[in-house]
Amino acid sequence: MSDNNKIGKLVIDDTVYETELSDKFLKRKAWQKADPKKITAFIPGNIREIFVKEGDRVKQGQNMLILEAMKMRNDMKAPLDGTVRKIHVISNQQVPKHTLLIELD
């Protein structure tokens, strides 16, 4: 990139391509790897049922709750073995995308 950080350069097959980078692109939030111990809503929806409580031991693949979105019931399963540290939602609660639902230890 040039000194003013507004021009991006890309070389493909010995051809140099330049593009102007928007302010929105330059100010974007940096990508972070997802934390498998934090279960979040991947789509907006309603919490229909919660099968675990704080302090419960869970096994990988175990159903923890049902997130209903667009008339589909999505089973949210434990991504790994652990203990439920905190449940951040209640049954029948509407949640937006990326809402933290459950934390594991």
- Taking only the tens place, the pLDDT of each residue in 51-91 is 999 999 999 999 999 999 999 999 999 999 999 999 999 99
Amino acid at site 46: N
pTM (2 d.p.):
0.71
Report the b/e string of 84-94 with b at 16+ CB within 10 A: beebebeeeee
Q: Is the pLDDT of residue 22 over 50?
A: yes
Residue 1 binned pLDDT confidence (cut-offs 50, 70, 90): very low
Residue range 38-104 forms a domain whose CATH class is: mainly beta
Residue 34's pLDDT is what? 87
Which residue in the block uniquely carries the two structure tokens 């809402």? 99
Burial of 25 (0-12, 13-18, 19+ CB in 10 A): exposed
